[in-house]
Chain A
């Protein structure tokens, strides 16, 4: 048992007990190590969100077991409670869960529940605020005075403040403007690098996944159909499009150019990579 998180043969059904069960997650096996940064991609309704709710025990799978840090998280109530601090989940549109009078208090909600001393809580809040680029002035404001992007960052900071070993973000950039999107993605990357925590990003934006993740998990019809390195996953472009997913726009462009007879590689996933490859070609002219 050397993986930090292990999901073994997990199945989950929302219609538990009825005859014609429909599984939201079926026979899923998944391992994760500290420090990894993984993207989970899949079509709407493929079971992504259900899958992540199993990670911290919000949903108890019908069969299979979940190990976090070597412990079966469903073994007793206390383990089930404490796993929430090891696996921090930030759901879709997390800004709607803000409730405190000030941003500071809201970020402090998680650490307070961990029964930390007030000094420790304060430290946690300040460092989480730093990770999410929240200024000191903002900490004293009401969360309801902030803009959409700022609210989102506060909500993410609220989860980061628990110092989870794994940070799971469900569509973290959905509904943000391009600037807010880029900023948030950058902050998540920095968080992963400085703290060494594992990060899981659930998304159906391929650009986002490509710019962040080293490993990509493809979920389709309640199952994991592919779990591999980024390059490998996007080399299956036909399979991806058959399950309603897509390769990044840049890759699409390169595939088209290749089809048109231009001699170019097709394992290009970010605009930066593309620029790198195209630069010598432009210079040659």
Chain B
């Protein structure tokens, strides 16, 4: 049930993107997301989609896995498509029943928005597919480093993020164990109305929260025992270095940016 989520997972590999510096990937993805929103016409969006596809190939991640990451957002996709389809007015009317009108502009907006979201999800999941959680938080930590001048403890923030990510699978396992135990005592999660179903969650969440606290204490003790004091002065075993391939990521983004600017100028805007 909860084991089939591929979004946000790391997939081990040895591809171009796997070897990239997490910082350049983070900046690249951020840049890319901005670009997706800068697209005004179908032509520029097509260019972005093509670049996304190339990136998927470069990442060496199975196309099937990438598509799987779209599964959780499927409902959002359908919802936005329908809303845009019916509530955008303007342009030629293609189809109309009982006051509901589907206009040309509506269809265009719906397709455009859906493509945008797909691009967004695919690119951001590529980041997590090719970067281990540790690398990711290390990258974020380094990128946020300037904030230390504002007396924000970036090191601790990064450590918190690493720990949060680390405990996701553990908690999933824990939930499964508690569900099994309560089911064995006759807990019923499938029948009944909303109220009784919500009540049925109490025997799961109370033990879960308690054991999370217990884990937090244990972890804190274990960290203290190994002399963790937090702070920004911690050094790293693996130093991050910007290499040629990282420069390539920036060039890639620059090329895409100029492509989009040109196409936006040449063609009429959809939205």
Chain A interface residues (CB < 8 Å from chain B): 53, 56, 58, 81, 84-85, 88-91, 94, 96-99, 109-110, 113-114, 144, 158-159, 162
Instruction: Determine the residue in chain B with the shortest Cβ distance to A93.
Output: B177
Does residue B99 face the partner (Cβ distance < 8 Å to A)? no
Instruction: Determine the residue in chain A with the shortest Cβ distance to B206.
Output: A99
Return the CB mask of B122-144 against A: 1 if under 8 Å, else 0. 00000000000000000000000
Contact A58 B185, CB 8 Å, known A91-B177, A96-B211, A99-B206:
no
Instruction: Determine the residue in chain B with the shortest Cβ distance to A97.
Output: B181
26 contacts between A and B (CB under 8 A): A56-B184, A58-B183, A58-B184, A84-B184, A84-B186, A91-B177, A91-B181, A91-B184, A96-B178, A97-B181, A97-B182, A97-B185, A97-B203, A97-B207, A109-B187, A109-B203, A110-B185, A113-B186, A113-B187, A113-B188, A114-B186, A158-B185, A159-B184, A159-B185, A162-B185, A162-B186
In the complex the two chains form, is B185's CB within 8 Å of A144's CB?
A: no
**In the assembly, what is the distance between CA of A114 and CA of B180, in Å?**
17
**A residues near B210, Cβ cutoff 8 Å:** 96, 99, 144
| A116 shortest CB reach to chain B, Å | 11
| B189 shortest CB reach to chain A, Å | 11
Instruction: Determine the residue in chain A with the shortest Cβ distance to B181.
Output: A97
| B270 shortest CB reach to chain A, Å | 42
In the complex the two chains form, is A81's CB within 8 Å of B180's CB?
A: no
In the complex the two chains form, is B186's CB within 8 Å of A53's CB?
A: no
**A residues near B188, Cβ cutoff 8 Å:** 81, 113
**In the assembly, what is the distance between CA of A158 and CA of B184, in Å?**
10
| B256 shortest CB reach to chain A, Å | 37
Does residue B255 face the partner (Cβ distance < 8 Å to A)? no
**In the assembly, what is the distance between CA of A89 and CA of B211, in Å?**
21
**In the assembly, what is the distance between CA of A14 and CA of B158, in Å?**
35
- Those of B180-216 within 8 Å (CB) of chain A: 180-188, 202-203, 206-207, 210-211
Instruction: Determine the residue in chain B with the shortest Cβ distance to A52.
Output: B184
**In the assembly, what is the distance between CA of A81 and CA of B191, in Å?**
11
**A residues near B211, Cβ cutoff 8 Å:** 96
| A159 shortest CB reach to chain B, Å | 7
Return the CB mask of B7-29 against A: 1 if under 8 Å, else 0. 00000000000000000000000
- Those of B246-264 within 8 Å (CB) of chain A: none
Q: How many residues of B contact A (CB 8 A)?
A: 17
Task: Tell me the total A-B contact number using a CB cutoff of 8 A.
Answer: 56
**B residues near A109, Cβ cutoff 8 Å:** 182, 185-187, 203
| B104 shortest CB reach to chain A, Å | 44
Contact A96 B183, CB 8 Å, known A81-B188, A113-B188:
no
In the complex the two chains form, is B207's CB within 8 Å of A96's CB?
A: yes
**B residues near A90, Cβ cutoff 8 Å:** 184
| A69 shortest CB reach to chain B, Å | 17
Chain A to chain B: the 7 pairs with minimum beta-carbon distance, closest first = A113-B186, A99-B206, A97-B181, A110-B185, A89-B184, A99-B203, A99-B207
**A residues near B182, Cβ cutoff 8 Å:** 97, 109
Contact A94 B203, CB 8 Å, known A110-B186, A114-B186:
no
**B residues near A96, Cβ cutoff 8 Å:** 177-178, 207, 210-211
Instruction: Determine the residue in chain B with the shortest Cβ distance to A114.
Output: B186
**In the assembly, what is the distance between CA of A98 and CA of B203, in Å?**
8
Return the CB mask of B58-96 against A: 1 if under 8 Å, else 0. 000000000000000000000000000000000000000
**B residues near A144, Cβ cutoff 8 Å:** 210
Instruction: Pick the contact of A58: B180, B186, B207 (CB < 8 A).
Output: B180
**A residues near B202, Cβ cutoff 8 Å:** 99
| A12 shortest CB reach to chain B, Å | 14
Instruction: Determine the residue in chain B with the shortest Cβ distance to A58.
Output: B180
Instruction: Determine the residue in chain B with the shortest Cβ distance to A59.
Output: B180
Interface centre among A90, A96, A98, A158 (most CB of B within 10 A): A96
In the complex, given contacts A58-B180, A81-B186, A96-B210, what are 9 additional A-B residue pairs having Cβ atoms less than 8 angstroms apart? A84-B183, A84-B184, A90-B184, A99-B206, A99-B207, A109-B187, A114-B186, A162-B185, A162-B186
**B residues near A113, Cβ cutoff 8 Å:** 185-188
Interface centre among B177, B178, B185, B186 (most CB of A within 10 A): B185
